[in-house]
Amino acid sequence: MTRRILIGLAILFAALVIVLPVAAIVSRAFADGAGAWWAAVSEAETLQAVRLTVITALIVLPLNIVFGLCAAWAIARFRFPGRRALLILIEIPFAVSPIIAGLCFLLVYGAYGPIGGALQPWGVQLMFNLTGIVLVSLFVTCPFVVREVLPVLSVTGEDEEKAALTLGASGWQIFRFVTFPNITWAMVYGAILATARAIGEFGAVAVVSGAIRGQTMTLPLQIELLYNDYNTTGAFAAATLLTALALVTLVLRGLIAAIHPARGATP
Amino acid sequence: MPVLQTPQTRLSRRRRSPLPGLGLTLGVTVTFVTLIVLLPLLGLGWQLAQLGWSDYLFVMTDSRTLAALRITLTAAAAATVANGLFGLLLAWVLVRYRFPGRAALDALVDLPFALPTAVAGIALVSLYSQNGWIGALTAPLGFEIAYSWAGIVIAMLFTSVPFAVRAIQPLIEELDPAEEAAALTLGASRWQIFRAVTLPQLMPGILTGTGLSFVRSLGEFGAVIFIAGNIPFETEIASLLIMIRLDEFDYPAAAAIAGTMLALSLVLLVAINIAQTRLYRRFETGA
């Protein structure tokens, strides 16, 4: 009896709080039929937002991977002063809320900030454009790859790498043939989470994008714009794209977790 | 204490690792962390330092700031309490029972993390506004969720569901069934067993889960602003007020509110960490 009540309550809660919102998105997006959905999705400004979002993700992804692998290697394999501080700094973006993250960037890289101000005479502007969007996206995503790869590197240990070293392997060869095969899936897992986050980030990007119509609108910002314009179909159609991305992310996570159980502990 | 310090000392006394790549990887890491994390944080600190105490207090004691803080804190607290209860329920059901759809339910728990916050925001407002599926049901009862404090709570609840579930789940998996069985043979009722045997062992997870959920709720922006109504003094959250001050180019005020919220989050996170270590230690020593 208790069992049935508890299972029922859990399913009811999940249905009400988690499933229903997603159903609402799909229902609203297709309220006027698939044709209206397609027209809304292929609207020029929305396509422009998709393009900007994809470009941002394509810049952020490789930088994130290179940083994540470097940081994990340095922290897992070496002891140096400031190692703990470095670890804490890498984790900090998870504790900083989106608006505050955007504000921090504005204060340093904006026209009135020390770095942004110094660059201005050269005509270099870092905020309210693609550079600004990329910079904050790097901030909000930087812990993902490290926190997946680091535990795997620590668990694998360095015996194999040292063996390769005594056999005369170069640093690159050790990484390519000994280390990398062990951490591939952890890296992919972290990279997927980071990319999904970069694509969906709203608050931090909203602060630094400048929100110039048809120019610096990422897809999440475009959804807000359409919604505030009372273009409900447009907003929800654009939202279906991001919802699909979220579902794909979940499925990929599940698949990787299934084939590679030694993944990290990111919730 | 000495037990904790031993491995640390051993590691630091070890000879330098023969492996290559320290210079390159550490160089890349430090450059990246400096540009992307450290400098922006220092920027906020620098702005705050320029502000001075009296200006800081002027911003923070402004009635609109105080109202925004009160709304944010109370809504986050309400969402956190709800999350603790439902998180415990979901985690318990997912670990203890086998039923059709269990795997799907388990996967669904992560959806709020995967769904971009702006999408969650418009989805929730469309559900809870007067002509939405749920709003249409509650409106005749004179209870409006969208554009009210309750709407803010719903949005915060949605975005932080996974924290509590995922923090409590592993602890339920580790529970020793023999302890519950022992309590049962001693004549304890099911409720007594849960209260006296199970719940204390789950406390570290409940604490971490609700703590993280509270911190997340304090800073949530995208999911909240669509459903909140954003009326100053009534449904305006702290994150939105920071954004408004930024749009007015009032950087000092934005920095003062942001610095306060960030400090609060960091203090909470550190406190959760300390409390968690203590709770675990109490169980290990067998209190």
Pair A138, A202 in one domain: yes
pLDDT at residue A82 greater than cutoff 50: yes
Pair A50, A125 in one domain: yes
ipTM rounded to 2 decimals: 0.92
Pair A25, A70 in one domain: no
Nearest CB partner across the interface for A100, out of B101, B110, B258: B258
Measured at the alpha carbon of residue A202, what is the angle toward residues A52 and B167, in degrees to the nearest 5? 130
pLDDT at residue A265 greater than cutoff 50: no
The Cα–Cα gap between B147 and A211 comes to: 24
Nearest CB partner across the interface for A74, out of B26, B93, B163: B26
Looking up residue B65, the CATH number of its domain turns out to be 1.10.3720.10
Nearest CB partner across the interface for B47, out of A20, A107, A254: A107
Q: What is the identity of the amino acid at B50? A: Q
In a domain, B28, yes or no: no
Among the listed ranges A156-170, A230-244, A246-260, B2-16, which one has the minimum average pLDDT value?
B2-16
Give me the percent of chain A exceeding a pLDDT of 70.
97
Secondary structure of chain A as H, E, C letters: CHHHHHHHHHHHHHHHHHHHHHHHHHHHHCCCHHHHHHHHHCCHHHHHHHHHHHHHHHHHHHHHHHHHHHHHHHHHHCCCCCHHHHHHHHHHHHHCCHHHHHHHHHHHHCCCCHHHHHHHHHCCCCCCCHHHHHHHHHHHHCHHHHHHHHHHHHHHCCHHHHHHHHCCCCHHHHHHHHHHHHHHHHHHHHHHHHHHHHHHCCHHHHHHCCCCCCCCCCHHHHHHHHHHCCCHHHHHHHHHHHHHHHHHHHHHHHHHHHHCCCCCCCC
Contacts of B237 in chain A (CB under 8 A): none
Looking up residue A63, the CATH number of its domain turns out to be 1.10.3720.10
| Residue contact A99–B46, C-beta within 8 A | no
| Closest chain A residue to B268, measured at CA | A95
Looking at the structure of chain A, the number of domains it has is: 2
| Residue contact A14–B108, C-beta within 8 A | yes
Looking at the structure of chain B, the number of domains it has is: 1
Contacts of B163 in chain A (CB under 8 A): 267
Residue B36 CA, chain-centre distance (Å), reads 23
The Cα–Cα gap between B242 and B69 comes to: 11
- The DSSP output letter for B248 is T
Confidence of residue B213 (pLDDT cuts 50, 70, 90): very high
How many Cβ contacts (< 8 angstroms) between chains A and B?
Answer: 270
In a domain, B183, yes or no: no
**Residue B162 belongs to domain spanning:** 60-173+206-285
Pair A10, A68 in one domain: no
* Residue-level pLDDT at B9: 45
Can you tell me the mean pLDDT for A221-233?
A: 94
| Residue contact B39–A115, C-beta within 8 A | yes
In a domain, B193, yes or no: no
| Residue contact B25–A74, C-beta within 8 A | yes
| Closest chain B residue to A139, measured at CA | B36
* Residue-level pLDDT at A1: 77
Pair A230, A255 in one domain: yes
* Residue-level pLDDT at B276: 82
Pair A93, A24 in one domain: no
pLDDT at residue B63 greater than cutoff 80: yes
A46 half-sphere exposure, CB direction, 13 A CA radius: 22
**Residue A9 belongs to domain spanning:** 1-30
pLDDT at residue B65 greater than cutoff 60: yes
Pair A20, A119 in one domain: no
Q: Which of B172, B261, B270 is nearest to B216 (CA)?
A: B261
- A 155-214: CB under 8 A from B: 158, 161-162, 165, 170-171, 174-175, 196, 199-203, 206-207
Q: Tokens for B66? A: 């105080």
Pair A89, A23 in one domain: no
Mutating which of B34, B92, B115 best tests the A interface, going by the most A Cβ atoms within 10 A? B115
pLDDT digits (tens, 9 = 90+) for A34-55: 999 999 999 999 999 999 999 9
In a domain, B99, yes or no: yes
Sequence-distant (6+) residues with CB within 8 A of B79 are: B153, B154, B156, B157, B160, B213, B214, B217
Nearest CB partner across the interface for B97, out of A7, A24, A96: A7
In a domain, B44, yes or no: no
Pair A111, A3 in one domain: no
The Cα–Cα gap between A22 and A31 comes to: 14
Give me the percent of chain B exceeding a pLDDT of 90.
72
The Cα–Cα gap between B27 and B22 comes to: 8
Contacts of B156 in chain A (CB under 8 A): none
What pTM was computed for the model? 0.91
Pair A122, A216 in one domain: yes
In a domain, B124, yes or no: yes
Pair A117, A167 in one domain: yes
Contacts of B20 in chain A (CB under 8 A): 165, 170-171, 174
Pair A144, A116 in one domain: yes
The Cα–Cα gap between A199 and A249 comes to: 11
Q: Tokens for B46? A: 């620098």
Q: Which of B287, B102, B112, B117 is nearest to B203 (CA)?
A: B287
